[in-house]
Amino acid sequence: MASGYLQFPAGFIWGVATSSHQNEGNNTNNDFWQWEQAGHTRDGTISGLACDWWHNAEADFDRAAALGLNTLRLSLEWSRLEPKEGYWDDTAFERYRQMLLALHERGLRPMVTLHHFTNPLWLAKQDGWLNPTVVDYFARYTAQVIERLGDLCSWWCTLNEPNVYLLMAYLAALWPPGYRSIQAFSQAARHQVLAHAAAVDVIKQHTPQAQVSFANHIAAFDPHRPWHLGDRIIAHLLDTIMNRWALDSLQGGCLRPPFGTGWEKLSMTAPPLDYLAVNYYGSHPQQFKFGGSVIGLIEQQVIHEERAWDTPWEMRETSPQGLYQLLLEMWERYQLPIYITENGFCEMGDEKRPAYIISHLAAVHRAIAAGVDVRGYYYWTLVDNYEWAEGWTTRFGLYHLDPETQKRTPRPSANLYREIVRQNGISEDLVKAYAPQLLGELFATGQLVTEEE
């Protein structure tokens, strides 16, 4: 019998997160597909069949159900639903109906994202998120989705990680359309916030009971040398722009450009956010360096870390403590229920993933004990999927995937996660079996942490 136990609240939501382009396969009609064909990915690979979800997502839904999960986060592919401007593809809507029904049949409540980084080619040709009309296009797309699929989902994320998307596509030129421009970044950022606001109104008009948010990527931007003014300034700047800019704009009802001055009032009838959707992977300690342009500086501070997924673990900064602190800050600032809509670790094998999962869930548990209203956790991801500019080099899955044969093999982390979900908590025995190095840290006091706490 275990002497220590980290118990999660009754009714805690356990899931995995995925996205259309990374999982479905053959999404030939979007801008990222085109980008891959042009050889822009690290290993030169293309998404190809990805996890073949367009034909058989159900087999992976079975896997998710067998893990005991009660929710799955997926996204809809705009380029499938509206392959030509103003033309709606009934067959694609029907396929998503099947998928959502299949989730419900398996006891997996869907959380659906409307935009996860990819754009239909027709939109990309019209300048994508730089074009002010994108706000209307997005609202129109949202209306179609809600009318046709709104009976099967009541939990929406409008956009996935506007901050990461804008950074990679408009500042770092690593994703399409490949810009390196502060002005383009700011313009597209404005349109993303306006698109979220418009989509929320559309969703609420049709289904007032729906819960809506957008998935916000957060990272711990701490000063590397806490006494150093430069490190502190750059850490604060990045924390403001990356972690809080979009949330503050929406919550405050007032849109300020991420760089520069001025503001405009947001006109929305519905509340901008019903919950906070938080994607967290790690920390980016900030060390100020002189010289270079603003873009160069931001790149140096954030992107090089982002692109270091396949470097050894020791060289990257993971920080469960950073997650704990950010949860406390987010709760204090916004007072909204929080779902961790992504958290995951990449490595081809599974040496460090179990400890990553345990230590991050322990941080979530600590935040809950400190009074933060965290209601659910989604591991990124179920089966290895196509990792954007990193191609197939970077693997986050609970299941290993061979993209050629489509064979899935569970990693030990799949068993670990299933056990955590079954226990609705983490027992000391589980830690002993999967990450004994964490025993002292998690159970030093032989604590018995119960639901009532």
* Contact residues for ligand BGC, defined by CB under 6 A: 19, 22, 160-161, 164, 217, 279, 342, 380, 387, 396
Least CB distance from residue 406 to ligand BGC, whole Å?
A: 19
Query: Distance (Å, rounded) from C-alpha 280 to C-alpha 269?
Result: 30
Convert 255-285 to b/e letters by CB count within 10 Å (16 or more is b): bbbbeeeeeeebebebebbbbbbbbbbbbbb
List, in order, residues 6 or more apart from 251 with CB less than 8 Å away: 272, 273, 334
C-beta separation of 110 from 153 below 8 A: yes
- Name the residue nearer to ligand BGC (CB basis): 84 or 304: 304
- Name the residue nearer to ligand BGC (CB basis): 47 or 359: 47
Least CB distance from residue 167 to ligand BGC, whole Å?
A: 10
Tokens of 64: 């998710």
- Name the residue nearer to ligand BGC (CB basis): 133 or 311: 311
3-state secondary structure of 22: helix
Least CB distance from residue 396 to ligand BGC, whole Å?
A: 6
- Name the residue nearer to ligand BGC (CB basis): 22 or 158: 22
C-beta separation of 165 from 243 below 8 A: no
- Name the residue nearer to ligand BGC (CB basis): 43 or 453: 43
β-strands 399-402, 5-7 pairing: unpaired
Q: Which residue, 201, 177, 191, is CA-closest to 133? A: 191
Residues linked to residue 84 through DSSP beta bridges, in sequence order: 87
Helix orientation angle between 53-66 and 90-105, rounded to the nearest 10 degrees: 10
- Name the residue nearer to ligand BGC (CB basis): 257 or 322: 322
Residue 381 CB-density burial (10 A; 0-12 exposed, 13-18 middle, 19+ buried): buried
Q: Give the position of tokens 């094998």.
A: 349
* 8 DSSP 8-state letter: P
- Name the residue nearer to ligand BGC (CB basis): 124 or 346: 346
Q: What angle do CA 235, 237, 238 make, to 5 degrees?
A: 70
Q: Where are the beta strands (DSSP E) in 237-389?
A: 254-255, 264-265, 276-283, 338-342, 374-380
- Name the residue nearer to ligand BGC (CB basis): 15 or 425: 15
- Name the residue nearer to ligand BGC (CB basis): 323 or 368: 323
3-state secondary structure of 429: helix
β-strands 5-7, 448-449 pairing: parallel
